[in-house]
Amino acid sequence: MTIATVNMPILVSASAFLSVLLLFMGVFFYFRQRANKVRFVERIAQGGESGEIPDTGASSSKTAGRILNSFSSLGKRVTPEGSADYSRMRAKFLKAGMRTQNVLYVFWGIRCFLGILMPGSFFLLRVAVFEVISYPMTIAIAVLLASFGFYLPEVWLRVMMARRKGLLSSGFADVLDLLVVCVEAGMGLDAAISRVGQEMRWSNKGWSDELNFYNLELRAGKSRRDALKNLAFRTDIEDVNSFTTSLIQTDKFGTSLAQALRVYSDAFRTKRYQRAEEKAAKLPVRLVVTAMGSIFPALFVTILGPAAIRVYELFIQH
């Protein structure tokens, strides 16, 4: 009796189990996708003519709201108001897309909470488990954990800023194309920006929020120049900065807006093509580094490994 004959029942059982498992997984993911689609359609229908999808998850969570209020109460006692750091943090939250009134207080409350929680938890573990650690080492680790907990929200905020900046950068080409189409169709700049903000709410919510905020600043009485400068400041993208500068100059000198947008759109596409060529030119160098770090060590082990074992055996025999 061969090994294949002995293991045949096991192979058949394993194959049947995997088939049934994959079948149930397929059915599960199909019904879940269908339920998500139905839920999304219902949320769109609830939005009505305003076109806004109600955020049922965050608004219905009372526990999360209470926790955030607790952090906000703690942050109000420790936030350095009236300083340069206060304005700097406000600017960071704007660039991260966080415009809630008490977001700064919540941020400082979380920083202080983590700065106390992490060393406090370590002290409890030290008393209960790590009794062999000396007191100077305990104090040093506690200080490091307190610093880490205090600056961890700062790292998270920078990650959110970078993520949102990448989202806005990827959607800027679509915004520019829609603006060119709207302006060439006869719309004014403010009406075109408002229309693009409405159209972008499904594909790129970040740009939709920024353009809607631009319209709110205009309605509040700010000049178009200041609103465009604030838009460039919030996005923190070089292309958007040059774009708003071009719009300000066009508005100042009274030149054709459609022509200016068309020229900038062509220049922006040329710049994107040059950036793609630059990345493609850097690809061989990155591949060489990847090959040296992953492929070459395996080749060295395969080629030189038997020789090294043979040399080791010769030394052992002598």
What would the two tokens of residue 114 be?
Answer: 């983590």
Q: Which of these three, 166, 199, 227, is where a domain ends? A: 166
**Of the ranges 41-50, 76-85, 133-142, 291-300, which one carries the lowest mean pLDDT score?**
41-50
Q: Would you say residue 39 lies in a domain?
A: no
Question: What Cα–Cα distance (Å) separates residue 98 from each residue in 90, 150, 164, 209?
Answer: 9, 20, 11, 11
Q: What is the percent of the chain with per-residue pLDDT over 90, rounded to a whole number?
A: 4
Give Rg (Cα) of the chain. 30
Judged by DSSP in three states, 100 sits in coil
Give the separation between CA 234 and CA 259, rounded to whole angstroms.
26
Q: Which of these three, 137, 166, 195, is where a domain ends? A: 166
pLDDT tens digit sequence for 58-111: 444 577 777 777 777 777 777 766 656 677 888 888 888 888 778 888 888 888
Q: Would you say residue 121 lies in a domain?
A: yes
Q: Would you say residue 94 lies in a domain?
A: yes
For residue 231, is pLDDT > 60?
yes
Q: Which of these three, 166, 201, 229, is where a domain ends? A: 166
Q: Would you say residue 28 lies in a domain?
A: no
Q: Can you give the pLDDT at residue 16?
A: 62
Query: What's the domain range around 207?
Result: 168-274
In this structure, the chain runs to a length of 318
Whether residue 142 is found in the same domain as residue 239: no
Q: Would you say residue 42 lies in a domain?
A: no
Q: Which of 99, 98, 97, 235 is nearest to 170 (CA)?
A: 235
Q: Can you give the pLDDT at residue 286?
A: 83
Q: How many domains does the chain have?
A: 2
Query: Where residue 113 falls among pLDDT bands split at 50, 70, 90?
Result: confident
Whether residue 149 is found in the same domain as residue 203: no
Q: What is the percent of the chain with per-residue pLDDT over 70, rounded to a whole number?
A: 81
Q: Would you say residue 214 lies in a domain?
A: yes
In our burial notation (b when 16+ CB lie closer than 10 A, e otherwise), range 120-130 reads: eebeeebeeee
Give the separation between CA 110 and CA 26, rounded to whole angstroms.
41
Judged by DSSP in three states, 253 sits in helix
Q: Can you give the pLDDT at residue 3?
A: 42
Q: Would you say residue 215 lies in a domain?
A: yes
Q: Would you say residue 159 lies in a domain?
A: yes
